[in-house]
Structure 1
Amino acid sequence: MHFRYQQWDERFNRQAGKSPFDTLWDLFQELLTISGGDVSQAMRWLNDIDKEYGVTDQFEEGYGIGDFIEEMQDRGYIRFDEEESIMVPTSKTDRSIREKSLHEIFRQLKKGGKGEHKTPHTGRGLERQPETRNWAPGDDIGHIDSVGTLMNMLQHSSLDQFQLRESDLEVYDTDHHTSASTVLLIDLSHSMILYGEDRITPAKKVAMALSEMIMRNFSSDSLDIVAFGNEAWEIAVKDLPYLKVGPYHTNTLQALRVARSILQRKKFSNKQIFMITDGKPSCMIENGRLYKNSFGLDRKIVNKVLDEAVVCRRKQIDITTFMIARDPYLQNFVRELTDANKGRAYYSSLNELGGYIFEDYIRNRRKNVR
């Protein structure tokens, strides 16, 4: 594990108005995410940071790490697992880490609308468009354009008698709001922690933030999470903070197949796959065994992945790839994948990842609406 330190600013606590517990709690949540849910390891790192930078020395109340541990237990953030004889995080901690991730991601985004997704199409919705059209049965009478309707009526009325016809009625168009089903794929291959760069922690944070946003604001949507390495498997939202990279290759093919299988069971008009990866597809299951090749792009594997991208396109499932690697030959593969699916691709840094995913999620509505 690699850390990047900077000088502790004792003004931080006073400026932010944080209590000693809140200050340590912010640090601990970050360390707990990096440790994959290992409370003991996170506490050791927190003690190391305190020893190096004297974090608790700034607290006027004489508050120490021991007080912090006791308060975490009292508040229900950690508990002792008697079966394993270790401290473990609780569901309250899971939720707190997701909320923290959501706040971090939204600092990157511009302020936007809330509660609904907009499509580029018009229909029944909440926000008026300047354009009007003829009224049709079922339209909300609250959106009638009174001026336009009156002008239509006057064209065939006389001073003695005004006649309002159904054809005179004009209504404002509105944004059409729709729901979406999304599967988020997270690469857990070994390259996500290679070269001294922690790529998995930002990926987990984005996934946690996205899930928290959907559960809060877009309750009609669905989000499923699939992790993949040598194989692909579904995980629960509560397990997101504690994902760990393994000694895995990258089975992109199975990840896409599992995502497609999930989406085909959903009764949603808009279906999409978001894939966060930093590497090439380097393995697949063939005749019950793992076929792998870590040296360059194996066309046997790549062609199978591209075939799956075409199948997704035929099933009207968009694939958006978020590539957190700059290697030109890997970017060429992503271009092939994107072309096969007619989807989208972003080549983003770790700092930009959250902004790209959130903005794309909110604007990615392609269903044609009558």
Structure 2
Amino acid sequence: MIGYRITDFVPDKNKDQSAFDNLWNILQQLLLITSGDVSEALSWLTNVDKQYNITNADYGMGDFIEDLKKKGFLTEDNQTGEFKISAKSEQEIRKSALEEIFGKLKKSGKGEHKTFHSGLGDERNSDMREYRFGDTPDQISMTDSIRNAQINHGFSDFALTENDLEVEEREFKTQTSTVLMIDISHSMILYGEDRITPAKKVAMALSELILRKYKKDTLDIIVFGNDAWQIEIKDLPYLKVGPYHTNTIAGLELAMDLLRKRKNSNKQIFMITDGKPTCMRKGIKYYKNSFGLDPQILNKTYNLGAACRRLNIPVTTFMIASDPYLKEFVKEFTKINNGNAYYSNLKGLGNLVFEDFKNNRKKNL
């Protein structure tokens, strides 16, 4: 009987890219996996090069490292010789994550944050209307207005009156404040599955999307283990999993505190996690229980879900695990909060985050 032979798939090099670009694309992925450890990432890249012959006689790893320094992607400590990635590299890694996860936005035009309200807004559209008192000069379409004047008054006695003016319709864009919670408990790297790298990549893509397209929006990023704390966007490549339990309560409390300070009416929380709440603070001590679903921890988590609902803050949970009892917890929490929940594999996580980011807007002004 003839069967199937399974072999490793080795993708072809991008012939339209230079040797530097091909190596740089691979190195960016390795820098994420190594949490920004340049030496380790370059060591891995050297081993990959030995196996797949990425470089050649004209361009080797030494040339690549020199180009990284010349282009400002790496900085080198003159005393220790230690390499570190620069702010330029951090931005390039976020840009790469954006292209990988949300690249199709350029073609589809999705995610414009538009409401159904028209008038003196931010974004032009193709609709035209007559001039109204209060319209600003920059809204007037001079080409269409002059054409109307020629039709209405003729060429010999040209005049432009208020009745000839046409105005470009505009749409308001909603402003949204988002808090992204990322689980950094130990379970995010258990059983040989790297769950933290895709979570970091999604966070970087979302942050770059907001910085580029939705500059009036805000994004705060929280990590939670035994405790919860806020991190900056620039810190994302360096994020690591720790020997932590999962204090979802601390994450939700911090997220609510941050959103209370935001003045716009559209607020939401995204939570990326792979486990159940297993930890909470009782005074100065931690209360922990990794076995099953502890009622004390669960009840407080549910209470916070209800508090978010009262504040009109939906929580969208992206559960990157499929255990039945975890699904029951997420289902109950989502019901109490009136939010959303997705049980995602790592590959589809980015698309789900974007779709919910787009659809979860209340379109309030």
Please name the residue that 1:29 is paired with.
28
Distance 1:123 1:258, change over 3 A: farther
User: Within the alignment, does 1:207 sit opposite 2:209 as a pair?
Assistant: no
Query: How far does residue 276 in structure 1 lie from its aligned partner after superposition?
Result: 0.5
1:324-351: CA deviations, max 9, x gaps?
Answer: 1111110111111111111111111111
Distance 1:330 1:124, change over 3 A: farther
Query: How far does residue 299 in structure 1 lie from its aligned partner after superposition?
Result: 1.1
Alignment of 1:308-323 (within 5 A): 308-323=304-319
Alignment of 1:129-144 (within 5 A): none
Distance 1:238 1:28, change over 3 A: same
Distance 1:129 1:88, change over 3 A: closer
Please name the residue that 1:46 is paired with.
45
- Choose 17-26 or 111-120, whichever is displaced more: 111-120
* Equivalent residues of 2:302, 2:336 under 8 A apart: yes
Letter in 2 for 1:271: K
Please name the residue that 2:150 is paired with.
none
Please name the residue that 1:295 is paired with.
291
Distance 1:22 1:172, change over 3 A: closer
Query: How far does residue 300 in structure 1 lie from its aligned partner after superposition?
Result: 0.7
Give structure 1 stretches of 5+ with no counterpart: 144-170
Distance 1:295 1:358, change over 3 A: same
Please name the residue that 1:152 is paired with.
none
TM-score (norm 2): 0.83
In structure 2, what is the Cα distance between the partners aligned to 1:358 and 1:115? Answer: 8
* Equivalent residues of 1:117, 1:363 under 8 A apart: no
SS in 2 for 1:12: coil
Query: How far does residue 216 in structure 1 lie from its aligned partner after superposition?
Result: 0.5
Distance 1:121 1:252, change over 3 A: farther
SS in 1 for 2:68: helix
Distance 1:172 1:338, change over 3 A: farther
In structure 2, what is the Cα distance between the partners aligned to 1:268 and 1:30? Answer: 36
User: Within the alignment, does 1:343 sit opposite 2:331 as a pair?
Assistant: no
In structure 2, what is the Cα distance between the partners aligned to 1:339 and 1:113? Answer: 32
* Equivalent residues of 1:338, 1:345 under 8 A apart: yes
Alignment partner for residue 67 of structure 1, among 53, 56, 63?
Answer: 63
1:243-264: CA deviations, max 9, x gaps?
Answer: 0111111110000000100010
1:259-279: CA deviations, max 9, x gaps?
Answer: 100010111110111111111
In structure 2, what is the Cα distance between the partners aligned to 1:277 and 1:225? Answer: 14
Please name the residue that 1:97 is paired with.
93
Alignment partner for residue 365 of structure 1, among 336, 343, 361?
Answer: 361
TM-score (norm 1): 0.82
Query: How far does residue 98 in structure 1 lie from its aligned partner after superposition?
Result: 0.1
1:56-93: CA deviations, max 9, x gaps?
Answer: 1xx4x621111111110111111123576521110000
Query: How far does residue 121 in structure 1 lie from its aligned partner after superposition?
Result: 6.1
Alignment partner for residue 185 of structure 1, among 162, 167, 181?
Answer: 181
In structure 1, what is the Cα distance between the partners aligned to 2:260 and 2:188? Answer: 29
Please name the residue that 2:76 is paired with.
80
Query: How far does residue 290 in structure 1 lie from its aligned partner after superposition?
Result: 1.0
Please name the residue that 1:155 is paired with.
none
* Equivalent residues of 1:117, 1:178 under 8 A apart: yes
Distance 1:62 1:326, change over 3 A: same
Query: How far does residue 116 in structure 1 lie from its aligned partner after superposition?
Result: 3.7
In structure 2, what is the Cα distance between the partners aligned to 1:308 and 1:76? Answer: 45
1:128-150: CA deviations, max 9, x gaps?
Answer: 799x9xx998688979xxxxxxx
Alignment of 1:180-259 (within 5 A): 180-259=176-255
* Equivalent residues of 2:184, 2:225 under 8 A apart: yes
Aligned-residue identity in percent: 53
1:8-48: CA deviations, max 9, x gaps?
Answer: 34x4232xx11111010001000000000000110111111
Alignment of 1:11-26 (within 5 A): 11-14=12-15, 17-26=16-25
User: Within the alignment, does 1:8 sit opposite 2:10 as a pair?
Assistant: yes
- RMSD over aligned CA atoms reads 2.9
* Equivalent residues of 2:175, 2:264 under 8 A apart: yes
1:216-243: CA deviations, max 9, x gaps?
Answer: 0100000010011111010000010110
Please name the residue that 1:280 is paired with.
276
In structure 1, what is the Cα distance between the partners aligned to 2:284 and 2:220? Answer: 26
Distance 1:84 1:253, change over 3 A: farther
Distance 1:239 1:70, change over 3 A: same
- Choose 74-83 or 296-305, whichever is displaced more: 74-83
* Equivalent residues of 1:124, 1:177 under 8 A apart: no
Please name the residue that 2:144 is paired with.
none
Query: How far does residue 124 in structure 1 lie from its aligned partner after superposition?
Result: 5.5
